[in-house]
Chain A
C-alpha cells in the first residue's frame, strides 16, 4: 500500500489549492486487482487518482465512509435505449459510415433504469437487419459519450436479408463483404485501425462463418448473439475474438449458460448484452448469475459485467483503475448477489443516483 501512497502525496502537493478531492471508504472496494477490505478510493476532477486500503486523506479532501461494497459501474452491451427510430436505417444494406453516436439521446427516460441497476456504461448497437448496420458507440446513461466509434457492426445472421435487396443469401452476403475487404473504404478502411468489428449472428453455423471472416482479415472484436458460442470456443480462441452473450432468460436452454462456462475456461473475453428487446438492465446480473450456477468462475462472471465488458466495448470503462473516470456503484452487499441493493451511483465523481447525504 505504501507504494500507492507515496505518489499520491506528491501529487497532492502539486495540485495544492484546487477544487479539492474526495475520498470514499467502503467495507469492500472491488478494485482492478480484486476486492480490498476497508478500501479507500481517491477521486479528483472526476477521475480516480488512487485506490487502496488506508489511503491517507489529503488535507483538501474530505472522507465519506460508506457501508457496503463499492465497485465499478456495470457495462451493458448491445442496447438501443435512446436510439428510438435511429436503431436501424432500413434504406441501405451496408452503412459502414453511419455512427450510432448521432442517434444517442441522453434525455431518454429509459436511462434511469440503468442507473437504478448500477449500469454506468452502455454499448449502443444497431438492430440486426442490415448487412452492415453502422458503427457502435459507448455512452454513459444520461451522460457523456465515451467512444464514438467502437466497432463496425456486421450481421451474419439471416436477419440481414430483405426481400428484393441484395444480398438475399449467406453466400451472397459473404462475397459482398469480401468485395468490400478487397479495396476497403469508409468504415471498412478503419477496421483494425482502432475500429473493432462486432460480428452479429444467431446460429452456431452463422457464428462459424463470422469468425472465419474475422480470422481471414485478422480483425479484432467480438461475436454477439450466438447463445451457444461455447461450441465455437476453439475457433474464437484461435481468432482472438471475444463473445457478447445474449440475455439468458428463464426459458433459456440450459446449454446456454453451460456454454458460457466453457468460454470462461478458455479465457475468452465475455460480456452480456441486453438483446434487441431492451431488457431491463437487471438482466445483466441475472444472466451472469445463471452462468455462475452453470460453472462460470465468480471473477470471470464479475469481469464479464465490468472490466472484461469494457475491453470488448473497446472503451475505458468498467474498472476502478487509477486514471479512469470515477464511475462507481455502492451496493448494500455483494454485487453478484441479487438481494444487494444499488444504494448510490457516481458518474465521473458526481453522484447521479441514490439518497445524497454528502
Chain B
C-alpha cells in the first residue's frame, strides 16, 4: 500500500490556502438548491458535513452549535475528470516504455504540479483518474487522485489501482492500428488462460498432496515389514556375496507450479473484471475491432476514451453498457486527418442514443478546463443534466468510486462545490470547494 501513506508526505499545495478546521468541526451548508444527484434536487435545503463525510442532507436540518455555517445558492458534488494526466512529472505524461505493471502513482509529482492541481481545484474538479503515457499502447495502472491536499498535506490518492489504461491506433498505418486492438485482446486472453492455469494447479497440487499423505501413512505402517525384508535381503546378499541393491521407489510426480508472470497476473485481473480497462481509440475500424475482439470476455469492464468515430457503434455500447469518455475539445485543424468532426457534438449525439457519456480532459493542465468543455458540449447538444452526470455520478461509477463519490448524499465523501449559479454555466463562479469535509478553496480567501 504505497500510495496514500507515501504521497501524504508531500507539502501543502498552496500557501494561500485557508487553514483547515480540525476534523471534528462540522460544516453546515444552507443552499437554495442542493443537487443531490443529476435530476434529483432539494429546494432550500441544508447539508451537514463532518469527519470528511456528508452526515445529513435535508430541508429541515438545523445548524448544530459550533458548526461552521456557509450559505450559497447551489450545492453539488465535486466534479471528476476520469481521463487526466494531472500531477504526473512532465516526462511520465508522454511515456512509451510503459507496460501493465507501471503505475501512475510512481510518477505523481505533487511538487512540480502544485499550480495545476490548485487550478483544477478552483475550477471545481475534486478528483480525477490519472494514467501514464499519453499514447502508449499499454499505459499501466491508473490511479484515482484528489486535487485537494491530503489531511497531512500531500496528494490524496483514493485508489492506487483504479483501472488499466491503454491506447489503440495511436500510430502506424491502418493495419498496425487494428493490430493494436488485436494485441490488446491477446493480452486479455493470456491473462484469462493464466488464471485458469493457476486454478488448475491449485486443484492438482491439493490432490497430489492428499494422495501422497495417504501413501505416506501406509509406508509408515509397513515400515517394520520393509525393514525386516531389507535386513533379510542384505544378509542373503552377503551370504552369496552379491552386492545388495536397494529396491527402487516410485511415486506420482509432483505437479509443476506454473511460472509466475507479473504481467499476466495483472491482465488476469482485467479479464475477470476486477480492474476496468480504459482504452483510448478514435477511428471506427479500430473501435469496432476492439469491441468485436472483447465480446468473448463477459466479465471485462471496458471503457472507451476519445471515441471520435464511435457513434455508429452506439447500439453495441448500450448493449454492453460500455461508457465513453468524450474529449469535447475544439481541435480545429489539429484534428487527426481522416477523422470526422465529432469533437464537440459527439457527447450530445451519444447521450441521445442512451450511451453512458463521460467527459474527460485528457490533459495535465487541461483538467482545469473540464467544466468549460462540458459547457461547450452542452452548447453542442448535450443535455445539461447529462453533462452534470458525466462530471459526477457517471465518472465516479466508471472508476469504482460510485459508492463514495459523485453525489451529495449522507455517507458519501464530502467533496462539494458551493456555487452562485448553475453548475454547468460558464458564468457561474465557485464560492467554495469542499474536499473530504474541509474547505480546500474559498473565493473570499480566509475562512
Chain A interface (Cβ within 8 Å of chain B)?
Answer: 81, 110, 113, 250-251, 254, 274, 277-283, 286, 289, 293, 332, 334, 336-341
9 A-B pairs with the lowest CB-CB distances in the bound complex, closest first: A280-B330, A280-B332, A338-B375, A251-B365, A282-B330, A278-B333, A339-B378, A250-B369, A250-B366
CB distance from A317 to the nearest CB of B (A): 21
A113 touching B332 in the complex, CB below 8 Å, given contacts A251-B365, A289-B426: yes
- Is A282's CB under 8 angstroms from B344's CB? yes
Of listed B426, B427, B429, residue having the most chain A CB within 10 A: B426
Residue of B nearest to A334 (CB): B427
Tell me whether A279 and B332 are in contact in the complex, defined as CB-CB below 8 angstroms, given that A251-B364, A338-B372, A339-B424 are known contacts: yes
* CB <8 Å contact, A278 and B332: yes
Interface of A is mostly: loop
Taking the nearest CB of chain A, how far is it from the CB of B117, in angstroms? 13
Chain B residues within CB distance 8 Å of chain A: 119, 330-334, 341, 343-344, 361, 363-366, 368-369, 372, 375-376, 378-381, 384, 424-427, 429
User: Using Cβ atoms and an 8 Å threshold, which residues of chain A touch B343?
Assistant: 280
Known interface pairs A334-B427, A340-B379, A341-B379. Does A289 touch B330 (Cβ–Cβ under 8 Å)?
Answer: no
How many A-B pairs fall under 8 Å by CB? 66
- A135 CB to nearest B CB, Å: 24
Q: Verify B425–A337 contact, CB threshold 8 A.
A: yes
Q: Closest B-chain residue to A336, C-beta based?
A: B427
Can you list 26 A-B contacts (CB < 8 A)? A113-B341, A250-B365, A251-B363, A251-B365, A277-B332, A277-B334, A278-B332, A279-B330, A280-B332, A283-B330, A286-B330, A286-B372, A286-B376, A293-B429, A332-B379, A337-B425, A337-B426, A338-B372, A338-B376, A338-B379, A339-B375, A339-B378, A339-B379, A339-B426, A340-B379, A341-B379
* Nearest-Cβ distance from residue A28 to partner chain B, whole angstroms: 15
Q: Are A283 and B332 touching (Cβ within 8 A)?
A: yes
Q: Report yes or no: A337 in contact with B375, Cβ–Cβ below 8 A.
A: yes
Q: Which of B330, B366, B368, B381 has the most C-beta atoms of chain A within 10 angstroms of its own C-beta?
A: B330
**A306 to B118, alpha carbons, bound, how many Å?**
33
A250-B366, A278-B334 known; 9 new pairs, CB 8 Å cut-off, are A250-B369, A279-B332, A280-B343, A281-B330, A282-B330, A286-B372, A339-B425, A341-B379, A341-B380
Chain B residues near A274: list those with CB within 8 A. Answer: 332
A282 touches B369 (CB 8 A): no
> In the complex, which of the residues A250, A289, A336 contacts B363, with contact meaning CB atoms closer than 8 Å?
A250
Cβ of B372: which chain A residues have Cβ within 8 Å of it?
286, 289, 338
Which A residues lie within 8 Å of B364 (CB)?
A: 251
List B contacts of A337 (CB < 8 A): 375, 425-427
Contact yes or no, B426 A338, CB < 8 A: yes
* Residues in A neighbouring B381, C-beta threshold 8 A: 341
Q: How far is the CB of A283 from chain B (nearest CB, A)?
A: 6
Contacts of A338 in B (CB 8 A): 372, 375-376, 378-379, 426
Closest chain A CB from B327 CB (angstroms): 12
Closest partner residue, chain A, to B382 (CB atom): A339
In the complex, chain A residues whose CB is within 8 Å of the CB of B366: 250-251
Complex CA distance for A341 and B381, rounded to whole angstroms = 8
Nearest residue (CB) in A for B375 is: A338
Q: Which of B331, B379, B427, B429 has the most CB of A within 10 A?
A: B379
Instruction: Decide: B331 and A280 in contact? CB cutoff 8 A.
Output: yes
Contacts of A286 in B (CB 8 A): 330, 372, 376
Provide the bound-state CA to CA distance between A62 and B344, in Å. 35
Residues of B within 8 A of A81 (CB): 333
Cβ contacts under 8 Å, B369 to chain A? 250
Q: Which residue of A lies closest to B345 (CB)?
A: A116
Instruction: Return chain B residues, CB-CB under 8 Å to A110.
Output: 333
With A and B bound together, what is the CA distance between A339 and B380 in angstroms? 8
B422: nearest chain-A partner, CB-CB: A339
Residues in A neighbouring B363, C-beta threshold 8 A: 250-251
Residues of A within 8 Å of B384, CB to CB, are 339
Bound-state CA distance A332–B425 (Å) is 13
A250 proximity list for chain B (CB < 8 A): 361, 363, 365-366, 368-369
